[in-house]
């Protein structure tokens, strides 16, 4: 729940490239989908790729690290026009909304010859990647045979823009102080994700900028983002 009492809805933003998705927000997205009903839960999976290794003359095998696999996100999205949520039944089915959701997540885009790169934003969750699985289950129907309740089970695999990946893997790269002017639709976790590659520093940045209400920052506000080591030390 947002500080002003308005329920924050999960937002899925679609971009034509990973570079656009890395720094883009709602204003820059090619398409966007807002949850009608927020998921009850979501699951984040983190995996490390290993291989068995055994030195000559030994009886046991040692797991050898190979690489860290992209994180995976999964959840269920509910589409419902029965009125059970808001008490207002709608005569139309949910097929059009479900089909648009499918197209944003999985449709082949002619100009780029691939589906969209996606960014999911909900509270402190900022996840960037691609949809890898989408399963649609239609449960209730109106007299015309149109679905009025559908469940979308979705899996995403995380990705990172290549230039940013190189910078993150360069242990000698310097962190600098940044000053950013807040734009409409931007949140502090989203800005931290853009600058640090991780939204978890938002409380530290709020403290540096003496923000009493970091959930409702006025557009045009200048914020200071300190080097990541300093931001981390403030938590």
* pLDDT tens, position by position, 223-235: 988 886 645 554 4
Question: How far from 17 is each of 55, 73, 159, 196, CA to CA, in Å?
Answer: 44, 20, 11, 20
Summarize pLDDT for 26-80 with one digit per residue, the tens: 999 999 999 888 999 999 999 888 877 655 555 566 777 777 888 999 999 999 9
Residue ranges of domains in the chain, CATH in brackets:
11-50+67-164 (no CATH), 176-233 (3.10.350.10)
CB 232 within 8 A of CB 196: no
pLDDT at 169: 45
The pTM is what?
0.66
pLDDT at 59: 59
Asked if pLDDT for residue 3 goes beyond 50, the answer is no
Q: What is the 3-state secondary structure (H, E, C) of the chain?
A: CCCCCCCCCCEEEEECCHHHHHHCCCCCCCEEEECCECCCCEEEECCEEEEEECCCCCCCCEEEEEEECCCEEEEEEEEECCCCCCCCCCCCCCHHHHHHHHHHHHCCECCCCECCEEEEEECCEEEEEEEEEEEEEEEEECCCCCEEEEEEEEEEEECCCHHHHHHHHCCCCCCCCEEEECCCCCCHHHHHHHHHCCHHHHHHHHHHCCCCCCCCCCCCCEEEECCHHHHHHCC
Summarize pLDDT for 97-154 with one digit per residue, the tens: 999 999 999 999 988 899 999 999 998 899 999 999 999 999 999 988 999 999 999 9
């Amino acid at each position: 729940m947002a500080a002003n009492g308005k329920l924050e809805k999960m937002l899925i933003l679609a971009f034509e490239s990973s570079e656009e998705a890395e720094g883009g927000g709602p204003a820059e997205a090619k398409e966007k989908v807002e949850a009608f009903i927020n998921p009850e839960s979501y699951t984040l999976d983190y995996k490390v790729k290993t291989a068995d290794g055994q030195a000559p003359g030994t009886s046991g095998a040692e797991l050898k690290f190979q690489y860290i696999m992209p994180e995976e996100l999964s959840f269920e999205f509910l589409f419902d026009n029965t009125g059970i949520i808001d008490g207002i039944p709608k005569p139309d089915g949910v097929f059009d909304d479900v089909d648009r959701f499918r197209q944003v997540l999985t449709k082949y885009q002619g100009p780029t010859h691939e589906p969209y790169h996606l960014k999911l934003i909900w509270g402190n969750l900022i996840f960037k990647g691609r949809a890898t699985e989408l399963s649609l289950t239609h449960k209730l129907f109106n007299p015309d045979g149109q679905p009025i309740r559908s469940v979308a089970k979705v899996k995403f695999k995380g990705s990172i823009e290549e230039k940013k990946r190189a910078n993150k893997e360069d242990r000698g790269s310097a962190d600098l102080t940044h000053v950013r002017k807040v734009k409409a639709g931007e949140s502090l976790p989203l800005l931290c994700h853009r600058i640090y590659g991780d939204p978890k520093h938002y409380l530290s940045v709020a403290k540096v900028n003496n923000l009493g209400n970091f959930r409702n920052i006025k557009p045009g506000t200048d914020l200071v983002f300190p080097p990541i080591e300093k931001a981390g030390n403030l938590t």
